[in-house]
Chain A
């Protein structure tokens, strides 16, 4: 088993928000990378995070857990997390698990930035 499947989390600042764009696969072997990237932003006082998932090929339940934790964490600091750019496959995962009902899911990055 590979130690880590490839995952990078490039980010971009947009006004008061930071856009995180996890790229590759998120699963149990590398979910700490995503968690670390989010943690860093929250610790730096960031209150609005946009997760643009357009470059995300796959997310496991461990990855979903970190998205939910991030959203809760931001909420408890008076902030919010927005999710956009879901591929058909990721959208299906969100729908089956009901995460689309719990998280703020929007269409494109522009939709998300418009909703801040």
Chain B
């Protein structure tokens, strides 16, 4: 709730009574004296539409107006038009002669909330006031909720933009490899990320990761993990050492038990040698001559779940024409309407079929196959994948 909305609700309800008959003021003060004494109702008086507008200007917390129709200077119907065109945040109740349906219709069409007839039946007026105040309160609550929702959506949008901004906008291109990636978050902000960066003239870093859970806490953890890994990658040549450092940092004081599965590899462009460490992530695939195989695990664990784990490196010499396919489980666990999963078998079959289709072709074919499989069923998990094909080595 906005602070102004809160203060409006907790305050006594202030009602503006507009009538050119002087004795109405006395009558109202008399009839509502208990409520006025208790402080839950407060009345302000004006004698015509013009005075009413001045009072509203002076008392911006007035939410209800009770107005006569026939008055000198400015009548009640004109007052209603003025309130309507000023988009005033007030509820108007009109007092009209009994049976004056023409004026009552006009008043309702100009936005009056209700009407009471003359001579005023104060019991009926009391009921009408209660009803109007309840309506105003509900309206304010609805507005406050809407404001909160708008603010929240705005924050999510910003978070989503920040997160997209930290993914590499354009992946580096050289003659030695092509690389392509795609990420489809399930919600406004996801918990997956990928990265591909150059460590020096000869070595490239390659990352894919999936943070436990989704939404804002996961997104924050994602940002932290990604930044920590990138920093570690500058300091340690060994992927295992990088993972170890990040793991130690994210495991400390990790009461929420957040974790990230993360595969990090360093590709040496001089000879195609890939050194990697796999922190609990789905094994990437190596596609060599159309044959698909899992990149062997390194016996390691997701980052964040155990402070003292020692990570291991493994080595995979890539040959020219080899492709690596990295993905998060949003790909293999994508569900269709029958709740079947896309599954690893479909993925492997498709990679086998695609053979040596290049990084862009592979990623696009897999993403569209998953989309076709899900056939419009909204997914619970982010879907991220990345492909890299080695075209040549720099020592050639």
- A interface, CB within 8 angstroms of B: 1, 27-29, 31, 58, 60-62, 64-66, 68-69, 72, 96-99, 101-102
Q: Quick one: given A29-B380, A96-B281, A96-B283, are A65 and B213 in contact (CB under 8 Å)?
A: yes
- Check A1–B380 contact: CB distance below 8 A: yes
A61-B261, A96-B283 in contact; A68/B378 too (CB < 8 A)? no
Please indicate the chain A residues that have their CB under 8 angstroms from the CB of B297 in the complex.
96
A1-B378, A61-B261, A68-B259 known; A102 vs B305 contact (CB < 8 Å): yes
Q: Give bound CA distance, A58 to B283, whole Å.
A: 19
Provide a sorted-by-A list of 8 A–B residue pairs whose CB atoms are within 8 angstroms.
A60-B381, A68-B259, A96-B283, A97-B259, A97-B280, A97-B301, A98-B300, A98-B306
CB neighbours (8 Å) of A27 from chain B are: 380-381
- Chain B residues with CB below 8 A from A69, complex form: 256-257
| Contact-residue size bin, chain B (C-beta under 8 Å from the other chain) | 20 to 34
A23 CB to closest chain B CB (Å) equals: 16
Name B187-224 residues within 8 Å CB distance of A: 191, 210-215
Q: How far is the CA of A29 from the CA of B282 in the complex (A)?
A: 22
Q: How many A-B residue contacts, CB cutoff 8 Å?
A: 71
Contact A102 B257 (CB under 8 A): no
Contact of B257 among A1, A68, A97 (CB under 8 A): A68
Across the interface, B212 reaches (CB within 8 A) one of A58, A61, A96, A98, namely A61
CB contact under 8 A between A97 and B380, given known A28-B213, A65-B213, A68-B259: no
Residues of A within 8 Å of B212, CB to CB, are 61-62, 64-65
Residue of A31, A62, A98 near B305 (CB, 8 A) is A98
For the complex, would chain B's binding face be called helix, strand, loop or mixed by DSSP majority?
loop
Q: Check A62–B261 contact: CB distance below 8 A.
A: no
Chain B positions within 8 Å of A, measured between CB atoms, are: 191, 210-215, 256-259, 261, 279-283, 297, 300-302, 305-306, 309, 329, 333, 378-381
Nearest CB in chain B: distance from A57 CB, A: 9
The answer to whether B380 and A60 have CB atoms under 8 Å apart is yes
Of B191, B215, B280, B300, most A-chain CB atoms within 10 Å:
B280
A65 touching B259, Cβ below 8 Å? yes
**Cα distance A78–B300 when bound, in Å?**
27
Tell me whether B301 and A101 are in contact (CB under 8 A).
yes
New A-B contacts (6) at CB < 8 Å, excluding given A28-B381, A96-B283, A102-B306 = A1-B378, A62-B212, A69-B256, A72-B257, A98-B279, A102-B305
